[in-house]
Amino acid sequence: MVDDSENTSVNPRVGDTDTLAEVVERRFSRRGFIGASALAGSYLALAGCTGPARPAGRGGSGTEAPPAFGFTEIPRGMDTTHHVPNGYRSDVLLRWGDALFPGAPEFDAGAQTAAAQRLQFGYNNDFIGYVPLTLDAGQQNRALLCVNHEYTTTALMFPGLGDEWPRRLTREQVEVEMAAHGGSVVEVVREEGRWRVVLDSPYNRRVCADGTPMRVSGPAAGHPRLRTTEDPQGRTVAGTMNNCAGGVTPWGTYLMAEENFNGNFLGQVPEHHPEADNHARYGVPGRWYDWGRHFDRFDVGQEPNEPNRYGWVVEVDVMDPDSVPVKRTALGRFKHEGAESVVAPDGRVVLYMGDDQRFDYLYKFVTRRAYSPHDRQANRDLLDDGVLHVARFDADGDIDWLPLVHGQGPLNADNGFHTQADVLIETRRAADLLGATPMDRPEDVEPDPGSGKAYVMLTNNHQRTPEQADAANPRGPNLSGHIIEITEPGGDFAATRSRWDILVRCGNPAVPDEGATWNHATTEHGWFGSPDNAAIDPQGRLWVATDGNDKTGAADGIWALETDGERRGTGRAFFRAPVGAEVCGPRFAPDGRSLFLAVQHPGDADGARFERPATRWPDFVEDRPPRPSVVVVTREDGGTVGS
């Protein structure tokens, strides 16, 4: 989803010494499964702590290196369905409305209810996390998928809304939308090479925008600016929403990043209200949805502090389906696109986070304490204590990571920051004062533990003028986005000074005025625009998913992108989405043989309605609207995806 505004100025039941492996082992023994003794090791590999071994011939100066990718790319184009290369298979694994629990009502597109939606896969799947549950002789075949449901495409969800827009919704329809937001934790198993959902898994759960109480923790917990009528303590929020990208921590928890929360608020605070400027900086109220007409807390005139309770990163302990999710305020409040993490050499955990707004910033959080690989409980509140930094990109290729710490520099009472809570609630204004570099919509940031690099997706910024172009955002306007490669000194992800370079300026290389910079080996199908999500596969190769490539006349999709040697900057088209959709996820299984991806808002073209979507993907059943779905891509011969 794009916000068209811009920056203007568990069961305590889990004991104290349990490791993730022990928790899994106990749960599975109860259910008669074999133990998961190899799990801790598998988890380390997932988090990159042990780092996947790189194939020989990659990562060096590499002038003789062969292409990193071996598939035959798919052609540019756009139609009603999705496409994968020859020799690949795609299976739709989870669709909006699919049952997640035994006895969940069968999906009925024309008569959806909130009660049904709370038991079904949500709308507009975005982030996909993979938490392994077992390792059988090296075959990672049982896992939890953690999938965000970012937002609801109202016009495609409900019949009979007509052409008058925006349309007033009934309270029940709003409740359906709230139940369709949030996330799903779903156990999946691979049998004979095919993945399926485990409907009776004790881990399956839905997290929603309402009815999933969550605890607020960290420096802003309990602050008066977070207190509301429903929560006079400022420590409990009724749910989470606008969960865009996210992350999985090294200790196996699921991070849900709250992005465009502003859009779900209505109303107005008085001009001189203490929160007026704060809300303006975040585009609150966005008035994109009708929630505030039925629920006072989404009307800022009624509850001026409610927006301060969104824009955080939520941590969910997926090993305990009864656990209370936690909003970790130490990670700052902004339009969090994602929260991918990596372990620094000294054991501290580092999260890279983009604030997806035109002219907003790139952040890096470094925990104070080191991660404990063998004591899961010791990591329980690791994300409550650390330093949030914002990036200043210098023209000489340095990044200075500026600490957002109360009392340092301008972050003091003279500027309205009385405590660290103020700095975090108004992260954007604090970063403005520090002189952070306004970026072209920072989306997903993918650290690569094997190389000490991180890749930043800058999706586009049509409002940057030529005069506003700078070294790190060199085009004004920037219609197609670019990708920045960060190099951490000595692989120290916790460093406060890093180096940066532009990997590619996206767009059509055949149009010189666009200023795209692809490797000359890139074909007419291999270039793309508007990078959004990214993944590093187990071989250390970069994959990029787009949101807005359709502006170039072809569908969004996933491209493989070379980062090393003489082929650096060569794109290759791998997956094409159906019309109207962007592609999210993507996530590789730890063995690299399955790629999970999220097709978001299929059929959402101009003027599309429930009755006339641009496609009825993936069911193609008459009268049924399109369904955002998770697709799993495998090779027909069972080999490594992309090789």
Helix axes 39-47 and 20-30, enclosed angle (nearest 10): 130
Give every CB contact of residue 264 below 8 A, 6+ residues apart in sequence: 209, 241, 242, 286, 288, 289, 291, 292, 298
Given the structure tokens 């959080």, which residue do they identify?
365
Q: Which of residues 209-248 bind Ca ion (CB under 5 A)?
A: 244
Query: Cα–chain-centroid distance for residue 282?
Result: 19
Q: How far apart are CA 371 and CA 117, in angstroms?
A: 37
Query: Which residue has the CB atom at the shortest distance from Ca ion?
Result: 547
Q: How far apart are CA 642 and CA 638, in angstroms?
A: 12
Give every CB contact of residue 38 below 8 A, 6+ residues apart in sequence: 21, 134, 135
Asked if 231 contacts 262 with a C-beta cutoff of 8 angstroms, the reply is no
Is the CB of 161 or the CB of 458 nearer to Ca ion? 458
Quote the least distance from Cβ 337 to Ca ion, whole Å.
6
Give every CB contact of residue 612 below 8 A, 6+ residues apart in sequence: none
Count residues contacting ligand FEO (CB under 6 A)?
Answer: 8
Regarding 258 and contact with ligand FEO (CB under 6 A), the answer is no
Quote the least distance from Cβ 176 to ligand FEO, whole Å.
20
Is the CB of 24 or the CB of 353 nearer to Ca ion? 353
Is the CB of 234 or the CB of 507 nearer to Ca ion? 507
Regarding 448 and contact with Ca ion (CB under 5 A), the answer is no
Is the CB of 443 or the CB of 514 nearer to ligand FEO? 443
Phi, psi of 552 (to 5 degrees): -90, 0
Quote the least distance from Cβ 124 to ligand FEO, whole Å.
9
Task: Encode 134-162: b = buried (16+ Cβ within 10 Å), e = exposed.
Answer: bbeeeebbbbbbbbbbbbbbbbbbbeebe
Is the CB of 594 or the CB of 629 nearer to ligand FEO? 629
Quote the least distance from Cβ 60 to ligand FEO, whole Å.
34
Binding Ca ion by CB under 5 A: which of 3, 290, 384, 444? 444
Asked if 81 contacts 629 with a C-beta cutoff of 8 angstroms, the reply is no
Regarding 356 and contact with ligand FEO (CB under 6 A), the answer is yes
Q: Which residue type sits at 153?
A: T
Binding Ca ion by CB under 5 A: which of 275, 303, 532, 604? 532
Is the CB of 556 or the CB of 591 nearer to ligand FEO? 556
Quote the least distance from Cβ 576 to Ca ion, whole Å.
17
- Show the binding pattern over residues 429-468: x = contacts ligand FEO (CB under 6 A), - = does not: --------------x-------------------------
Asked if 503 contacts 569 with a C-beta cutoff of 8 angstroms, the reply is yes
Q: Which of residues 148-187 bind Ca ion (CB under 5 A)?
A: none
In the list Ca ion, ligand FEO, none, the entry touching 259 (Cβ below 5 to 8 angstroms by class) is: ligand FEO
Give every CB contact of residue 171 below 8 A, 6+ residues apart in sequence: 294
Asked if 326 contacts 304 with a C-beta cutoff of 8 angstroms, the reply is no
Phi, psi of 198 (to 5 degrees): -95, 100
In the list Ca ion, ligand FEO, none, the entry touching 299 (Cβ below 5 to 8 angstroms by class) is: none
Q: Are strands 629-635 and 594-600 parallel, antiparallel or unpaired?
A: antiparallel
Regarding 258 and contact with Ca ion (CB under 5 A), the answer is no
Q: How far apart are CA 587 and CA 590, in angstroms?
A: 9
Q: Identify each DSSP E strand in 480-603 by its residue range.
A: 482-487, 497-505, 531-536, 542-546, 557-561, 571-576, 582-588, 594-600
Regarding 355 and contact with Ca ion (CB under 5 A), the answer is no
Regarding 340 and contact with ligand FEO (CB under 6 A), the answer is no
Binding ligand FEO by CB under 6 A: which of 210, 299, 337, 604? 337
| Alpha carbon distance, N-terminus to C-terminus of the chain | 32
Quote the least distance from Cβ 356 to ligand FEO, whole Å.
3
Give every CB contact of residue 513 below 8 A, 6+ residues apart in sequence: none
Is the CB of 315 or the CB of 443 nearer to ligand FEO? 443
Regarding 604 and contact with Ca ion (CB under 5 A), the answer is no
In the list ligand FEO, Ca ion, none, the entry touching 562 (Cβ below 5 to 8 angstroms by class) is: none
Quote the least distance from Cβ 215 to Ca ion, whole Å.
26
Helix (H, G, I), strand (E, B) or coil at 105: coil
In the list ligand FEO, Ca ion, none, the entry touching 488 (Cβ below 5 to 8 angstroms by class) is: none
- Show the binding pattern over residues 100-129: x = contacts ligand FEO (CB under 6 A), - = does not: ------------------------------
DSSP state of 415: G
Q: How far apart are CA 337 and CA 201, in angstroms?
A: 29
In the list Ca ion, ligand FEO, none, the entry touching 444 (Cβ below 5 to 8 angstroms by class) is: Ca ion
Asked if 280 contacts 265 with a C-beta cutoff of 8 angstroms, the reply is no
Quote the least distance from Cβ 440 to ligand FEO, whole Å.
12
In the list ligand FEO, Ca ion, none, the entry touching 150 (Cβ below 5 to 8 angstroms by class) is: ligand FEO
Is the CB of 150 or the CB of 591 nearer to ligand FEO? 150
Is the CB of 420 or the CB of 600 nearer to ligand FEO? 600
Regarding 150 and contact with ligand FEO (CB under 6 A), the answer is yes
Q: How far apart are CA 132 and CA 538, in angstroms?
A: 14
Tokens of 588: 């590789």
Is the CB of 43 or the CB of 596 nearer to Ca ion? 596
- Show the binding pattern over residues 391-430: x = contacts ligand FEO (CB under 6 A), - = does not: ----------------------------------------
Regarding 244 and contact with ligand FEO (CB under 6 A), the answer is yes
Regarding 231 and contact with ligand FEO (CB under 6 A), the answer is no
Residues of this chain that bind ligand FEO (CB under 6 A): 1, 150, 244, 259, 337, 356, 443, 532
Residues of this chain that bind Ca ion (CB under 5 A): 244, 443-444, 446, 532, 547
